[in-house]
Amino acid sequence: MSKKVQDLLLAWCEAKTKTCEGIIVNWYGGEPLLPSAYPVVERLSERLQAMCASRGVKYEATLITNGFFLDREKMLRLKELGVVKVQVTLDGPPDMHDKRRHLIGGRGTFWRIMENLKATVDLAEFQLRINVDARNAMRALEVLDILKEQGLHDRVRPYIAQVTHDGAACGNIQELCYSSSDFAKMEVEIYREAAKRNLGLSRYPFRLAGAFCIADRTNGFVVAPNGLLFKCWHEVTMNPEKSVGSLLDAQQGFQASNENKWLAWDPLAKSGCRSCEVMPLCHGGCPLEAMKHPERDRGACEQFKFHLEPLLEIRHQHATPDSGSTPARDVVCK
C-alpha cells in the first residue's frame, strides 16, 4: 500500500470516527508480517491508535498470519500496537502442512510456527485454524496431539475449518472440498474423538452481533492495497468491478449498487430462515454464498444446521470450564 493510499485511508478513518464508537482492524493478506508489508501495518497502527485516543473512541486489532515471522519481539510490538487476537493457520500435521505451506526452496514451516506459538502465546488470544478437506480431515487430531506435547493445548484455541472452493483462483480443488453437510458429519466425528482423548477442541455457537460478517455490516469494509473498498473478503482484487468505493475517488454508480446489494441482504426475508431453529446462531450464513442462490428459500446454512445437537451432547459430556468459546467468525473465515 503506497503512502498516498495509507494517508487517504487514515483521513477516511478519521471521518468515520466522528460517527463510530471505535475502529476494529483485522490485518490480513497475503501475509501482513512479510518484511515488505509489516512497516505499513506498524505505521497505520500507530496513527490509528493515536487518532482513536484523541477522539476518545476504542481501537482494537486482530491479525491473521501464517505465523512464520511471528517471533516474540514482533508480537510484543504488535501488542503495543493494539493487536489482541491472532489467528494462525495450519494445514494439518507436519508432513502435510509442509507439503502445502513451504518456503520457495521447499523447506517446511510447521515447526517454526510451533516454536513461534510457544514464544508468543502469552501475549494475545491465539486461535489455531486447522484447514480441513477430504485429504486430511482426521489428521487434524494429530495436530491436537502435537499441541498437547508442546504444552499449547490449553493455551491456544484450535478449531477445524472447512476449505472451500472460491472460484478459478482456487484451482482444481473443488472435488476435495466438503459440502457443509458432509463437513458437519466429519466435524462431529473429530470432536467426538478429540473429546474421548481429552484433546482441547470444542465448538459451541456464539452470539452474532446483528450480522454474519464484515460484508453485511454497514460499517465493515475490506481495503485493497490500491485503495479500493470492498464488502467481502472473497471479492477483493485490484480490479474495481466488485468494489463498493475507492479511497481515491467518489463512489461510482456501479459501486453504489454493489454496496446496496450487500446492505439489502436480509436473511429474515427468507421463509426457511424465519422458521429455522438455528436462527439466529447462523444469521443466514455467508451472504456471498446465499446471494448466489436467490431462488432458495433459505440462506447458506451453517454447519450448526446439521450438527448442533450432537455437538451439544459432546460438550455436555466432556465440557471443561472454558471450552465454550469459538473464535469470532471472521477472524475465522479465511
Amino acid at 313: E
Would you say 38 or 204 has its CB closer to ligand SF4? 204
Give the nearest distance from C-beta 161 to ligand SF4 in angstroms: 18
Would you say 76 or 268 has its CB closer to ligand SF4? 268
User: Of 45, 318, 86, nearest to 191 (Cα)?
Assistant: 318
What is the rounded distance in angstroms from the CA atom of residue 204 to the CA atom of residue 207?
10
Would you say 173 or 208 has its CB closer to ligand SF4? 208
Would you say 276 or 288 has its CB closer to ligand SF4? 276
Element (H, E) at 200: none
Extract the C-alpha cell encoding 268: 429474515
Give the nearest distance from C-beta 183 to ligand SF4 in angstroms: 14
What is the rounded distance in angstroms from the CA atom of residue 122 to the CA atom of residue 126?
9
Would you say 59 or 212 has its CB closer to ligand SF4? 212
**In sequence order, which residues have a C-beta less than 8 Å from that of residue 2 and are 6 or more positions away?**
225
DSSP state of 282: S
Give the nearest distance from C-beta 184 to ligand SF4 in angstroms: 11
CB-facing half-sphere around the CA of 146: CA atoms within 13 A: 20
Give the nearest distance from C-beta 271 to ligand SF4 in angstroms: 9
What is the rounded distance in angstroms from the CA atom of residue 68 to the CA atom of residue 50?
29
Give the nearest distance from C-beta 123 to ligand SF4 in angstroms: 36
Give the nearest distance from C-beta 304 to ligand SF4 in angstroms: 7
**In sequence order, which residues have a C-beta less than 8 Å from that of residue 306 and are 6 or more positions away?**
180, 181, 184, 185
Here the contacts of 48-55 (C-beta below 8 Å, separation 24 or greater) are 48/10, 48/13, 48/23, 48/82, 49/81, 49/82, 51/10, 51/13, 51/14, 51/17, 52/17, 52/22, 52/23, 55/17, 55/18
Which residue ranges make up the site for ligand SF4 (CB under 6 A)? 267, 272-273, 276, 278-279, 282, 284-285, 298-302, 305
What is the rounded distance in angstroms from the CA atom of residue 240 to the CA atom of residue 258?
11
Would you say 113 or 308 has its CB closer to ligand SF4? 308
Give the nearest distance from C-beta 285 to ligand SF4 in angstroms: 4
Would you say 52 or 273 has its CB closer to ligand SF4? 273
Give the nearest distance from C-beta 286 to ligand SF4 in angstroms: 9
Please work out, in degrees rounded to the nearest 5, the angle formed at the alpha carbon of residue 127 by the alpha carbons of 123 and 128: 120
Would you say 94 or 272 has its CB closer to ligand SF4? 272
